[in-house]
Structure 1
Amino acid sequence: MNIHFNHRRVLVTGSTNGIGFATARGFLAAGAEVVINGRSEAGVAAALARLGDAASRAHGFAGDLSTSEACAALQARHPEFDIVVNNLGVFGPQDFFDTPDAEWERFFQTNVMSGVRCARAYAPGMVARGWGRIVFVSSESALNIPADMVHYGFSKTAQLAVSRGLAKRLAGTGVTVNAVLPGPTLSEGVADMLQAEVEASGRGLEAVAADFVTTQRGSSIIRRAARVEEVANMILYASSEQASATTGAALRVDGGVVDSIV
């Protein structure tokens, strides 16, 4: 299967690190023109520098897309995309009874409304051109709501509802909408979370991450954390010509954490 994105314009939100950066790099390697997004100019510039020669087809947009103002500024600068990957997200454990309204609102605006606004901005152009792809990067936590991150699980389940509903709204237009559900993934954020254990134990990051997976996600079948590139591969496939009959789907890259045969 030869997946390419020549002449496709792609937005990957939250793409200066982790799954987003791996996804942006994958699109560039397959011929796309990609907008890299992060909250700060410095973060975006650093991500572009890491791309090396591929940066010739990459553009940076610094802005916090959890706000309507930044989304409007993005659309003003880049009025059309063929593919939108809504990857921007925040996570972090916090007990339900210690999570204030403001934190629920922050998670909702970042994880859910950023994608809603980007889809609302760019889907009409895709429909007019008769082709487009919208991908929401959700999580296995949308199905396995974590007891220590109820607010996070809520936001990820909401993404599934938006993705499925929007796919139905765009039926027959040539525009597909899907959600990708990573499981535990060895992104920079997870690496930072595990760094204290790495230093205390003297063991490698991948080994510590594997222990974390078996302890915290005991149903995992691969028994390790996924690499960011493994998640990016699913996002690229869902965005490709070859995935034209896949829409309204929740595509799991969770290593088998969700104990279901469907």
Structure 2
Amino acid sequence: MQIDLKGQTAIVTGSTAGIGFAIALGLAQAGASVIVNGRSQATVTAAVAKLNELVPGADARGVAADVSTAEGAAALVEAVPQADILVNNAGIFEPKDFFETPDEDWTRMFDVNVLSGVRLSRSYLKGMLERNQGRVIFISSESGLNIPVEMIHYGFSKTAQLAVSRGLAKLTRGSKVTVNAVLPGPTLSEGVEAMLKDQVAKTGKPIEEVGTDFVRAFRPTSLIQRTATVEEVANMVVYACSPQASATNGAALRVDGGVVDFIA
């Protein structure tokens, strides 16, 4: 299968590192013009430089904007008024006891993980429908189906993304525009590495081994019994953005390693 996205403009929010950067890289490798986004101009500039180094001749540029705010989302839209592909990847997570999680943490989780995608989809989806071409992807999580007791507020936000993506897909009925959600499981991104760094220091084990220990202890239903790589998640996203995925719409595409224990 040869995925060709030449002539397509793709925005990937939260793409200076981790899964987001891997998605931006995969889209650039498929020929798309990629917009890298992050909150800091320094990290955006560094990510664009890295992308151009990894994909010689890539058409990549950056927009620094905090898409968790209305002002930041508007700034991104002003800088890039039209897009063929929108990947709503910007997100945060934090393990936190439910009884110690204040209102502002719930609000912050909702603003970053949910409202960022709502605002940008509202801005870009209409144009896609008018042109009868486009892809919108929400990066949700298996935690949206399998709510983790150690971060209920995160699980709630990822379930909300599934509701939004399915609802938006219904607006595309009869068109060539699709809206889907991708659900990674435990993935060895920089954020997860940071979460596990104390365990690495304590045990002296390599990060990959500590990641495997985490999966086996906290996600025992995993069938691959390890963390996924960011590239494995990005592969699914690039496919969902491609012409080959034209009959995939309103779906929750799992890249969870089999963590969620049901067959649907």
TM-score above 0.5: yes
The alpha carbon displacement at 1:52 in A equals 3.4
Cross-structure match for 1:121 = 123
Deviations 1:224-251 (A, max 9, x none): 0000000000001111100000000000
Structure 1's consecutive aligned runs of 4 or more residues displaced over 6 angstroms after TM superposition are none
Cross-structure match for 1:181 = 183
Cross-structure match for 1:230 = 232
Is 2:132 aligned against 1:133? Answer: no
Cross-structure match for 2:198 = 196
Is 2:100 aligned against 1:98? Answer: yes
Is 2:159 aligned against 1:157? Answer: yes
CA–CA distance in structure 2, aligned partners of residues 196 and 95 of structure 1: 18
Cross-structure match for 2:52 = 52
Deviations 1:156-185 (A, max 9, x none): 000000000110122112110000000000
Cross-structure match for 2:33 = 33
CA–CA distance in structure 2, aligned partners of residues 3 and 258 of structure 1: 29
The alpha carbon displacement at 1:200 in A equals 2.2
* Residue aligned with 2:49, SS: helix
Amino acid at match of 1:15: S
CA–CA distance in structure 2, aligned partners of residues 180 and 31 of structure 1: 21
* Residue aligned with 1:36, SS: strand
Amino acid at match of 2:45: A
Contact 2:31 / 2:58 at 8 angstroms: preserved in 1?
A: no
Amino acid at match of 1:135: I
Bigger drift between 195-204 and 108-117 goes to: 195-204
Structure 2 residue corresponding to 1:247, chosen from 246, 249, 252? 249
Deviations 1:123-147 (A, max 9, x none): 1111111110000000000001011
Query: What percentage of residue pairs aligned between the two structures are identical?
Result: 60
Where does structure 2 lack aligned partners over 5 or more consecutive residues? none
The alpha carbon displacement at 1:117 in A equals 0.6
Amino acid at match of 2:50: R
Contact 2:52 / 2:60 at 8 angstroms: preserved in 1?
A: no
Bigger drift between 50-59 and 90-99 goes to: 50-59
The alpha carbon displacement at 1:56 in A equals 4.4
* Residue aligned with 2:31, SS: coil
Count of residue pairs the alignment pairs up:
262
CA–CA distance in structure 1, aligned partners of residues 13 and 58 of structure 2: 19
CA–CA distance in structure 1, aligned partners of residues 150 and 207 of structure 2: 23
Amino acid at match of 2:148: P
